[in-house]
Amino acid sequence: MAPMPVHYERIGNVAVVTIANPATRNAIDRDTAVALGEAWRRFEAEDDAVVGILTGVGGTFCSGADLKTMDLADVPDGWLGMSRLHVSKPTIAAVAGHCVAGGLELALWCDLRVAGEDAVFGCYERRFGVPLVDGGTVRLPLVVGLSRALDMILTGRSVSAREAHEIGLVDRLVDADTELEAALDLAEVIAGFPQPTLRSDRASIYAAVGHPIRDGLASENRFGSTVLREALRGAAEFRETRAPGL
């Protein structure tokens, strides 16, 4: 039996999805893409899974589509199995080694990126005439800005972990080989907050992207109005447990 290309593990209320194709630097073929989609749908369906982490084995995050097999299909959830998939809960990429081509697009799918100092980012598909079709041309400009995104996409150059942190592509830069531990720590922080309002605020951010501020404010009000009961509960807890003025 062939080894599973994607591992799904629960660590408390955190789900860790791991790409496990070390022989190809965690490249994505069709079986891996299908497994990625299944893993994230499982995460979405498990009520007690609060935060999801995406990572890779063998000191590499993901090298993108497997150009040797070239067997990916344009399915509704994206060529790489998850790039058009919506989840309602926070996600974190824990990045080591190469995070390039489609691997970069998968990291951009996540809300936050934690990277070890050995991480390398880049739109390497540029070098082989492969288009960005898993969200890179949409998400990268939103994360790093138009000019920096064009620089990365048009040149296909390598971007070090330190530069990625400086331009906002990486949210947390940590020592090499500690990125998963750091991502788990970050996930625990996020998981410790009341989830209804956290998720509604997250949804409001994404709903407002690309729209006029007036529309964004309207959607923010709409999302916030759905969780007012949680706000009242939190206010009552504050009154009972916090000292005056804190």
| Annotated catalytic residue, options 125, 149, 182, 187 | 125
pLDDT range class, residue 41, cuts 50, 70, 90: very high
- Annotated catalytic, 163? no
Read off the pLDDT of residues 68-114 as tens digits, 9 standing for 90 and up: 999 999 999 999 999 999 999 999 999 999 999 999 999 999 999 99
Q: Give the pLDDT score at 236.
A: 82
Q: Give the pLDDT score at 27.
A: 98
| Annotated catalytic residue, options 105, 119, 135, 149 | 105
- Annotated catalytic, 65? yes
- Annotated catalytic, 105? yes
| Domain 6-191 architecture | Alpha-Beta Complex (3.90)
Read off the pLDDT of residues 122-172 as tens digits, 9 standing for 90 and up: 999 999 999 999 999 999 999 999 999 999 999 999 999 999 999 999 999
pLDDT range class, residue 1, cuts 50, 70, 90: low
Q: Give the pLDDT score at 233.
A: 85
- Annotated catalytic, 117? no
Quick check: 217 pLDDT over 90? yes
Distance of alpha carbon 91 from alpha carbon 103, whole angstroms: 15
Whether residue 106 contacts residue 140, with contact meaning beta carbons closer than 8 Å, is answered with no
Distance of alpha carbon 70 from alpha carbon 115, whole angstroms: 28
Which residues does 88 contact at the CB level (< 8 Å), separation at least 6? 44, 199, 202, 203
| Annotated catalytic residue, options 97, 102, 103, 122 | 102
Q: Give the pLDDT score at 33.
A: 98
C-alpha gyration radius of the chain: 19
Q: Give the pLDDT score at 153.
A: 98
Whether residue 65 contacts residue 83, with contact meaning beta carbons closer than 8 Å, is answered with no
**Token pair of 34, please?**
């299908």
| Annotated catalytic residue, options 39, 49, 65, 182 | 65
Q: Give the other-Cβ count within 10 Å of 221's Cβ.
A: 10
